[in-house]
């Protein structure tokens, strides 16, 4: 799941990013309203965490412009403005939830999961391909009725392959979209993780879904 955090306090933004990445979410940061709006309208996110007091464009204006353009991604307002009128205005403008600063990350994570579940119910069922099923909120995976335990990185790679099912993806694309921190393209760690995933997702089941393509990378297809 991809989260956009629009927060001008860089230490707070970094704290949020680290917390969600430890839970295997992908996080993009923005530190002002104009940049945040540009990122939100030009990329696909599953949720936006939005401060109300921002440079260049305040959070309420960002929210209103998002809704005016038809973008209905869930938005959680995270702000020090906690007067009742502020909360009512934010919710009336299209926010899905409102949380006050200072905050505890465990509560923020819980609220985000609630919004993900609500959004998933509106979208419909889990992500499916053949007899593989993925719950993108709780990061759970099944083949038929058997649940498969994956590490955070294994889950990210498999979810990326499923979202691009039947389309070849390169090792670099996997690194760019699934990896946290520095990475050397001379390393074979992507192949190592693909083998880990195959042993859990493919070896005990049929049909085999993860295939190597010489010179290109990998593809998920039945």
* pLDDT tens readout for residues 99-108: 888 888 998 8
Q: Which residue has the tokens 């979410």?
A: 25
User: Could you state, in order of their start, the residue ranges of all structural domains in the chain?
Assistant: 2-123, 127-220
Please check whether residue 87 is in contact with residue 93, taking contact to mean a CB–CB distance below 8 angstroms: no
**Quick one: how far is CA 54 from the chain centroid?**
23
Classify 76 as helix, strand or coil. strand
Give the separation between CA 128 and CA 113, rounded to whole angstroms: 20
At 119 the pLDDT is: 67
In sequence order, what are the beta bridge partners of 213?
Answer: 217
Residue 29: pLDDT band by 50, 70, 90 thresholds? very high
Is 129's pLDDT higher than 80? yes
Output the six-digit token pair for 195. Answer: 């083998």
CATH number of 127-220: 1.10.10.10
pLDDT mean over 91-103: 82
Q: Which CATH superfamily is domain 2-123 in?
A: Response regulator (3.40.50.2300)
**Residue 115 pLDDT grade (very low, low, confident, very high; cuts 50, 70, 90):** confident
Query: Are 156 and 165 in contact, with CB atoms under 8 Å apart?
Result: no
pTM, 2 dp: 0.59
Token pair for residue 22? 């430890």
Write the CB contacts of 36 (distance below 8 Å, at least 6 apart in sequence).
Answer: 4, 6, 30, 48, 50, 54, 57, 62
What does pLDDT average to over the chain? 85
- Rounded alpha-carbon distances, angstroms, from residue 76 to 86, 100, 109: 14, 10, 11
Burial 118-154 (b: 16+ CB within 10 A, else e): ebbeeeeebbebbebbbbbbebebbbeeeebebeebb
Banded model confidence at residue 92, pLDDT cuts 50, 70, 90: confident
Name the phi and psi angles at 118, rounded to 5.
-60, -45
Residue matched to tokens 């940049």? 35
Report d(CA 167, CA 9) in Å as an integer.
39
Q: What is the pLDDT of residue 123?
A: 55
Structure tokens of 83?
């007067």
Residue 11 scores a pLDDT above 80 = yes
């Amino acid at each position: 799941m991809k989260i956009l955090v629009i927060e001008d306090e860089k230490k707070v933004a970094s704290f949020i990013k680290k917390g969600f990445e430890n839970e295997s979410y992908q996080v993009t940061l923005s530190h002002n309203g104009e940049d945040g709006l540009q990122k939100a309208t030009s990329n696909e996110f599953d949720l936006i965490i939005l401060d109300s007091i921002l440079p260049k464009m305040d959070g309420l204006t960002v929210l209103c412009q998002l809704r005016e353009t038809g973008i209905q991604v869930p938005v959680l307002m995270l702000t020090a403005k906690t007067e009742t009128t502020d909360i009512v205005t934010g919710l009336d403008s299209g926010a899905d939830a409102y949380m006050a600063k200072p905050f505890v990350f465990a509560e923020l994570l819980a609220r985000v999961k609630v919004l993900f579940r609500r959004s998933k119910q509106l979208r419909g069922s889990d992500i499916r391909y053949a007899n593989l099923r993925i719950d993108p909120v709780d990061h759970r995976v099944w083949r038929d009725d058997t649940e498969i335990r994956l590490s955070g990185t294994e889950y990210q790679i498999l979810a990326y392959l499923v979202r691009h099912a039947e389309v070849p993806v390169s090792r670099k694309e996997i690194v760019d979209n699934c990896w946290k921190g520095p990475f050397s393209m001379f390393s074979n760690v992507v192949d190592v993780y693909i083998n880990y995933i195959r042993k859990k997702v493919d070896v005990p089941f049929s049909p085999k879904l993860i295939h190597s393509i010489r010179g290109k990378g990998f593809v998920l297809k039945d």
